[in-house]
């Protein structure tokens, strides 16, 4: 573990798809950074209310949780290293790979340019 690159964020969880965590499933963790210049409130609203339902529509996603960086992190003067984490669970690796072939996945990925930094830079 390279402690020089260690970051800590305090988040608030938003359950977008409230399914069970598969016992022997796969958990995917994606680091999220808002689009440069986008106000935090607009970013969080879009992520939760627009992007969230798109991601939840992917059939093979069993559970989807967004962990938004808390507002207090933005009051310190320096922007936080990350604006959140996207957590998704699948039955297995094959189901996760299958999701990438769906039209719902394509719509979800296409929406990312509207609110996040792609590729992730921090």
What is the SS3 string spanning 31-63? EECECCCCCHHHHHHHHHHHHHHHHHCCCCCCE
pLDDT at 69: 97
Residue 19 contacts by C-beta under 8 Å, 6 or more apart in sequence?
A: 61, 62, 63, 89
pLDDT at 122: 59
How far is the C-alpha of 86 from the C-alpha of 25, rounded, in Å?
16
Q: Range with the lowest mean pLDDT among 36-50, 51-65, 74-88, 91-105? A: 74-88
Q: What is the pTM of this model?
A: 0.92
Percent of the chain with pLDDT over 70: 98
Burial of 48 by CB count in 10 Å (0-12 exposed, 13-18 middle, 19+ buried)?
middle
Burial of 108 by CB count in 10 Å (0-12 exposed, 13-18 middle, 19+ buried)?
buried
Q: Tell me the per-residue pLDDT of 46-78, one tens digit each, with 9 for 90 and over.
A: 999 999 999 999 999 999 999 999 999 999 888
Q: HSE-up of 18 (CA within 13 Å, CB side)?
A: 3
Q: HSE-up of 111 (CA within 13 Å, CB side)?
A: 17
The predicted model gives 3-14 an average pLDDT of 89
Q: Which of 9, 12, 26, 16 is nearest to 92 (CA)?
A: 26
């Amino acid at each position: 573990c390279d402690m020089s690159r260690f970051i800590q964020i305090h988040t608030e969880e938003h359950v977008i798809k409230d399914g069970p965590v598969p016992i022997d499933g796969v958990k995917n963790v994606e680091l999220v950074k808002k689009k440069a210049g986008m106000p935090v409130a607009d970013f969080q609203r879009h992520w939760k209310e627009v992007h969230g339902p798109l991601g939840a529509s992917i059939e093979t996603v069993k559970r989807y949780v967004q962990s938004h960086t808390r507002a207090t992190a933005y009051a310190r003067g320096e922007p936080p290293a990350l604006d959140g984490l996207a957590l998704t669970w699948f039955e297995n690796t094959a189901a996760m790979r299958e999701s990438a072939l769906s039209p719902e996945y394509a719509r979800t990925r296409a929406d990312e340019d509207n609110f996040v930094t792609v590729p992730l830079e921090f």
